[in-house]
Amino acid sequence: MGLFSKIFSNARKPEGFFGRMMVNGMNGGGHAKMAEWGLAEVVISEEANILDIGCGGGGNIARLLKRCPKGTVTGIDFSPVSVKKSTEVNTEAIATGRCKVLEGNAATLPFDDESFDLVTAFETVYFWPEIEKCFAGVRRTLKEGGQFLIINEDDGLSGNNEKWEKMIEGMHTYTPDELRHHLSAAGFHNIIVRRDKERPWLCVSANK
């Protein structure tokens, strides 16, 4: 495996030196701009309880905390490197009880039914196993009428997806139609797909 592949293989589960590089990069640049673009598409209550699955470097937890100043944000990631970085980035909110960061995965979410108003997934559903089961688990944790927000850097139609899928083990870049199908099969409704006019960014929202 070449150096380039070693670095980007950490997109799935950041580990070691290259993993630390990856999570640092997740918090800035185009990733931050894309997150802001996607979050502009949803209305978030000041008192919302939010879950961010695959919280990476913790930058999106911080963005969500700003949008729910009277609420809470829980981050979960199956990479210890990501959990550590997300904890460091959000130390103050954790100290005041507004934030928790846990190690875990999308397939077995360790939360009670109807715990959250909003669940977010930034650039992570590419790697979820048995995606409809994962989506059903997300739906279980949402309150009635709650919203699931997926934001992806690639819409699976750009022509770049095959390159990344070959480079990163276990990655599948879902098209809008694939996400609609899997979300519907998991019981979601009001599925709305938004795409950026200039870049292959994809934002999909769905309600319980």
pTM of the model: 0.87
How do the pLDDT tens digits run along the chain, 208 residues long?
444 444 444 444 544 444 455 555 555 555 889 999 999 989 999 999 999 999 989 999 999 999 999 999 999 998 888 999 999 999 999 999 999 999 999 999 999 999 999 999 999 999 899 999 999 999 999 999 999 999 999 898 877 766 666 666 778 899 999 999 999 999 999 999 999 989 999 999 999 9
Q: Determine the pLDDT at residue 170.
A: 72
What's residue 75's pLDDT? 98
Give all domains of the chain, ordered by start, each with its CATH number.
Answer: 3-207 (3.40.50.150)
**Residue 126 has what DSSP assignment?**
G
pLDDT at 14: 47
For residue 156, the model assigns a pLDDT of: 87
Q: CA angle at residue 100 from 95 to 101, to 5 degrees?
A: 120
pLDDT of 31 reads: 80
